[in-house]
Amino acid sequence: MEQKRYDKLDETVFHGVLPNGLHIYVDVRPEFTKKYAFFASNYGGKDVSFTHEGRQQLTPTGVAHFLEHKMFDMPEGNALQNLSANGASPNAYTSGDVTAYHFECTDHFEENLKTLLSFVSTPYFLQESVDKEQGIIGQEIRMGEDDPFWIAYYELLASLYHNHPIKTSIIGTVETIGEITAETLYECHAAFYNPANMCLCVAGNIAPEMVAAIAAEIVQADGSPPPVRDYGEPEPPHVVRQDAAVHMDVSTPLFLMGVKLEGGGDGDALLKKLLIAGLMSEAVFGKSSPLYTMLYEEGAINASFAFEHEVLPDYAMLLLMGEGGDPRRVREAILHEAARIADEGIELERWARLLKAEYGSYVRGLNGLESVCRNLSAGHMYGYDYLRFPQVFKTLTKAEVEAAIARFLTADCCALTVVTAKEGA
C-alpha cells in the first residue's frame, strides 16, 4: 500500500492495487471510533448494452438493481442479517452508474469486512429465489408508480436525453424484470463484479495492511478487462422537449427542472467540471442568491426547494425540485437571471463568498466517513483524485463559471416537468 499525504486537508490515504485489478483506498482516521467500508462496482441502471469477452449483450432494464437485491443470498444464509448480528449497520444501493455495498461498525470490523467481500464476490442465485424476487421488486415498481417525484424524475430524464440510457428506470418495469433469470444475474456478475471494475474504500482507525490482506485472501477472481459499454448515439446538447406535464393524485403541485450539462474528460478537468456545476447552481438560484429570496417572497417556491448536480464522463446535469408555488415562473426567473449574469457577470464580492462557501462544503464533507468513501470511490471510477479539490479550486475563475451559465442555463438546455392533480381529484 502506497501512502499519499494531502497536507492542505490534513488527510492521509493509502492506495493499493491487487494483482486481479481491485483498487483499495484506506483513509486512516486515528481519532474515530467508528469504521466504514464501501465496496462498489462501476455498474448501474444505465449499463444495459455492453460487450464482454467478445460477446455483445443487451440485458433487460433493472438487472443491476435486481442483482444488488440477490447478492445478499449466501448458501449459509442472508449476509445482511449476518452483518447486523455482528454489530454492523449494513446497506446497499443502485444508482444509474454504480452499485455499492457498505457497512459501519465500531467493533468486529475485520469479520464484517470478510463477510462484505465474500458475499459480493461470490454469486449464489437459485431460480426459485429469482422468481420470488420478481414479485418483491414488482411491488416496489408499483409503489414507485404512485410516487409523484419518481414519475416526474423519469419524465424529466426522458425530456432531457435523446439517446443516453440514464433515462431508463433503474429498477426496470414489471415486464423487464420478468425476463431476468439466474443465468442473467450470473452473466452480469461475471462482467461487472470483476475486481478490475470495482473498488474498496475504507475509513477509520484501521491498518491499511490488514484491509489489503483480507481483500487479497477473499477477492481472488482474475481481473479480466471490464466490459465495453454502449450508451447509444452521441447525445445532442439540446433537450428533447422543454415542458412536460403529469397528472396524478397530488394535493400540492410539484416540479422538477433539469439542466443538461456536458460531461466528459477525466482527472482535474472532470473534477473542475464538477466544481463549476456546483458554483453555477449557487450563483443563480442558491439559497444565498437574490433570486432565491425573490422567488421565496413571491411564493413561487417554498422551503421544499432543493437542487443537486451530477457530472460524469458520459453525462452531466443540474436537477432542481420543489413543491407548490409557480414552476413556470421559477423557470422563467432562473433563465432570466442566468442571462443577466452572462451579460453583467457575477459581482466580485459575491464571487468571493460563493467560492469560499463551496470550498467549505467540500471541507465539511471530510467529517463523514461515508462521504469520504463515496467520494474516493467516485473519483476512482471516473478518473479523478477527489482529494485534489483544493488545488482545482485554485484554478477556477469567475469567467469560467459565467461562461458555463451562459452556455447551459438556456431554454434549449432546460426541461421542466410539472405534476398537478387530476381533474376532479
Q: Which residues are catalytic?
A: 68
Q: Which of 100, 173, 78, 188 is nearest to 134 (CA)?
A: 173
Q: Check: CB of residue 321 under 8 Å from CB of residue 155.
A: no
Place of cell 471494475: 197
Say how far apart CA 269 and CA 396 lie, in whole Å: 11
Cβ-Cβ contacts under 8 Å for 198 (sequence gap 6 or more): 22, 23, 39, 40, 41, 42
Q: H or E segment at 55?
A: strand 55-58
Distances (CA, A) of 55 to 4, 50, 60: 39, 8, 16
Other C-beta atoms lying within 10 Å of the C-beta of residue 24: 23
Half-sphere exposure of 319 (CA within 13 A, CB side): 16
Place of cell 420478468: 178
Cβ-Cβ contacts under 8 Å for 303 (sequence gap 6 or more): none
Place of cell 431508463: 168
